[in-house]
A = this chain, B = another copy of it.
Amino acid sequence: MNSAVSEPVLIGIDWGTSSLRAFLIGAEGEVLDSVSSPEGIMHVPDGNFEAVFANLVGQWMTKARLPVLASGMITSRNGWVETPYETVPLGADDLARALVPHRTACGVELSFITGVTTEHESGPDVMRGEETQIIGASALGMSDGVFVMPGTHSKWIRVVDGRIEDYATYMTGEIFSALRGHTILGALIEDGPFSAEGFKQGVTAGLKERSSLLHDLFHVRTLPLMGKIAPTMVADYLSGLLIGAEISAGADRGNKDGRVTIIGRNDLADRYETALGIAGVDSRRAPDDIVAMGHFLIARSAGLLL
């Protein structure tokens, strides 16, 4: 493919809570152009999504009216249009059938990709946006395996034959912040550069079989209290302990080939790569812009491509 001469066929928007990204997508699913904005759904003045949308895609609509797909928290209760959840297992075709069309005041047609849920007895899981990334990754030589999306609420997703078979959410990132900021565990933390040793010790403790997080967390206090680790190691020990506990549960969920694909490009994703290594689990990184490929595949399955 040659993106220099490719004509755009689709606009994809990944519209999250705190930011958004929009993509101009070519005939092979490749990204021709993209734009980022801090106008996540929590930062849209007066809920005027229409204005943000018009400003965002207007630059790409000069020649032709392109079809537009939007995914992410934009379809939640606090978003533009609330859509229902589809239930796993599902693939691009199911998400294509479940698209929710919307016509803007300016007469532009767009389609919302719905969220995805699970129906486990212990309780449902919910996601909005991640399913589109996974569908995209599955087209890039990653149609089977276990994926992790590190974050405030990490997702562990099992993909079989390009379809989302099952997944689970872990509140690791948000719990880290609450424990650090609002419990006694923060009291002995001293800021400093990343402590690889503190992180490693934490991961090792978190990976331990038959351990209890409610108990192990107390060591985040006692280890520095008794002089066993330095105060500048404590935050990374806590981070490692939680990520280790998450990996211990998540990497085990129906992981046949023993490898995990990490989706994400930030420092947090680097931590997961390190922690998976400590756990003895092979990992690889998903390519960038898989969400745009997800938009492309779902739009194609829905017959929406220009």
Contacts and interface: CB of A to CB of B under 8 A. Distances in A.
Interface stretch (A97-105, A122-130, A257-265, A272-280): A122-130
A245 interface: yes
Interface stretch (A3-11, A49-57, A165-173, A281-289): A165-173
Interface string A116-134: 0100001111100000000
Interface in A209-229: 211-219, 222-223, 225-226, 228
A78 B216 CA distance: 24
A108 interface: no
Contact of A153 (B172, B213, B218): B218
A65 to B, nearest CB: 36
A241 to B, nearest CB: 10
B122 A216 contact: yes
A214 B226 contact: no
B214 A117 contact: no
A50 B36 CA distance: 63
Contact of A249 (B215, B222, B245, B249): B215
Contact of A183 (B168, B171, B184, B245): B171
Interface string A170-193: 111011011101111100000000
20 contacts: A117-B226, A122-B205, A122-B216, A122-B219, A123-B222, A125-B222, A126-B222, A169-B215, A170-B218, A171-B185, A171-B217, A174-B184, A178-B178, A178-B182, A178-B183, A211-B249, A212-B245, A213-B213, A213-B245, A215-B249
